[in-house]
Structure 1
Amino acid sequence: MKNKIFVVEDDPNIRDIVVAYLKKDGYEVSMADNAEDAWEMAYRDQPDMWILDIMLPGMDGYELCKKIRQDSEVPIIIISAKDDEVDKILGLELGSDDYLTKPFSPRELVARVKRIFKRVNIAPVKKEKEVTKTIQLGDLEIHIEERRVFWIGEEVEVTAKEFDMLTILIRNQNRAFAREELLSLVWGDDYFGSDRAVDDLIKRLRRKLDGLPIETVWGYGYRMRSDEEGSQ
């Protein structure tokens, strides 16, 4: 079965080129020139991936990304003429899986699409091999297959990257991870943004899970302290 991609881009030249390259590579593609129409399309037919422009008429790409993440963990690639670091970080914080700055090579975009689908498609195989379906650390409980997080008995809504960061840290308790390593593990090897994205994600986790034993390793990165290590 072909993977289905929704492309939301108001520039017809860019949209047509992106759609042509994706179709040539075997993907099923639907397109829209504004976020409102794209959102209506998603009600009728859910895609396997979104490719979103930021500067759209009406609702912008950031808002659409936020709406998608409220209901779904489907991969999102943002394409934008905005190349400031703060714009990239905002896109990633809202839940996008990748951020590509215009002008870009359509071949590079297709390569990134393939990489993300490869990562998503191998995830179920890995899960089947997992012996532990639920991981616990003190008041934190993670349901791996359901991708649900509970803190002190209450379910907490987390983004896809927040969940990935939690599982990496909790599976490797007391191990110190460098920021660059966490950036690669959570965002992928071809993400070239600042490691500030890691700091911002950790801040959000600490805010949502107040008391979570994530320790800062000054000048290096972070580690998840086990119960046996005692409290701060």
Structure 2
Amino acid sequence: MTANHILVVDDEPQMRNLIRIYLKRQGYLIYEAQNGIEALQWLNRQPIDLVILDIMMPEMDGYAVCTEIRRIQTLPILMLTARSETKDRITGLNLGADDYLIKPFDPGELVARVGALLRRVQQLNIPTPSLITRPLSFEDMTIYPDRREIHIQNQLVDFTPKEYDILYLLASNPHRVFTRDHIVEQLWSFDYNGDVRSVDNHVKNIREKAHRANLSFSPIQTAWGVGYKFQSGGH
């Protein structure tokens, strides 16, 4: 089985070393960044399955990094903080973090939380970024996960990050019906308190863009009273 790729972002070398030692024992592949700028550079050149992100860092703090990651990716984020105030943890969760740990922490607990976050993704049958290299092809549409691009009729179509995520989620599981709640659970942070009907607006936009690009089939079909599914005539 291919190992998951984990990016550890912390300005303290000793902390990065501690985390690396414990996670490598579990078979994970570890990448390190000492600040937020380096973290984003790693994410631009290497498929990462989970980010362990310290909040208090120079140049670009963890909140800013979390915001930028959530703008383009949905991978799990585990935030680390030396602050015990509830408001700091709430801020991180509201920005899109999936979990948090307060320093100092038990390394065994960190390993357990990392495993739980990755299992959550796997249980939803969503392939993690480092395990995806081959394009998904359906008739005249091809999805390139490594570049987060969708081509229709051999032309790049401009989908927003969230539109891409929804289409990729459904296309990765052809014919499987996803409820709106399930889509929100996977693609938004778990504390999302907006209207799940926002999924409908994204689906509407996806359909319109696909139609304008002359896609030969409707990429997302409605399962009335339930949700949505991906289904095409060819695979």
Map 1:117-196; keep pairs closer than 5 Å: 117-124=118-125, 132-133=177-178, 135=179, 142=180, 147=183, 160-161=188-189, 186=190
Distance change in 2, residues 1:130/1:115 (3 Å): farther
Contact 1:7 1:30 in 2 (8 A): yes
Partners of 2:176 and 2:21 in 1: CA distance: 43
Contact 1:69 1:159 in 2 (8 A): no
For the residue of structure 1 that corresponds to 2:124, the secondary structure is: helix
Q: Report the CA distance between 1:159 and its aligned residue.
A: 5.9
Distance change in 2, residues 1:19/1:131 (3 Å): closer
Does 2:103 align with 1:75? no
Other-structure match for 1:16: 17
Partners of 1:143 and 1:104 in 2: CA distance: 33
Q: Deviations over 1:171-220 (max 9, x none)?
A: xxxxxxxxxxxxxxx4xxxxxxxxxxx6xx43xx16x96xxxxxxxxxxx
Partners of 2:49 and 2:187 in 1: CA distance: 17
Distance change in 2, residues 1:2/1:21 (3 Å): same
Q: Report the CA distance between 1:143 and its aligned residue.
A: 9.4
Other-structure match for 2:62: 61
For the residue of structure 1 that corresponds to 2:71, the secondary structure is: helix
| Structure 2 stretches lacking a partner, 5+ long | 127-169, 199-224, 226-235
TM-score, normalising length: structure 1: 0.59
Other-structure match for 1:212: none
Moved segments of 4+, more than 6 Å: none
TM-score, normalising length: structure 2: 0.58
Partners of 2:98 and 2:175 in 1: CA distance: 24
Contact 1:35 1:64 in 2 (8 A): yes
Partners of 2:108 and 2:181 in 1: CA distance: 37
Contact 1:83 1:101 in 2 (8 A): yes
**RMSD in angstroms over aligned alpha carbons?**
3.0
For the residue of structure 1 that corresponds to 2:125, the secondary structure is: helix
Partners of 2:110 and 2:41 in 1: CA distance: 25
For the residue of structure 2 that corresponds to 1:124, the secondary structure is: coil
Distance change in 2, residues 1:124/1:36 (3 Å): same
For the residue of structure 2 that corresponds to 1:77, the secondary structure is: strand
Does 2:101 align with 1:106? no
Q: Report the CA distance between 1:132 and its aligned residue.
A: 2.9
Other-structure match for 1:170: none
Partners of 1:78 and 1:108 in 2: CA distance: 13
Partners of 1:122 and 1:91 in 2: CA distance: 24
Map 1:207-218; keep pairs closer than 5 Å: none
Partners of 1:82 and 1:7 in 2: CA distance: 19
Partners of 2:28 and 2:177 in 1: CA distance: 35
Q: Report the CA distance between 1:13 and its aligned residue.
A: 1.1
Q: Letter of the aligned partner of 1:107 in structure 2?
A: G
Q: Report the CA distance between 1:35 and its aligned residue.
A: 0.6
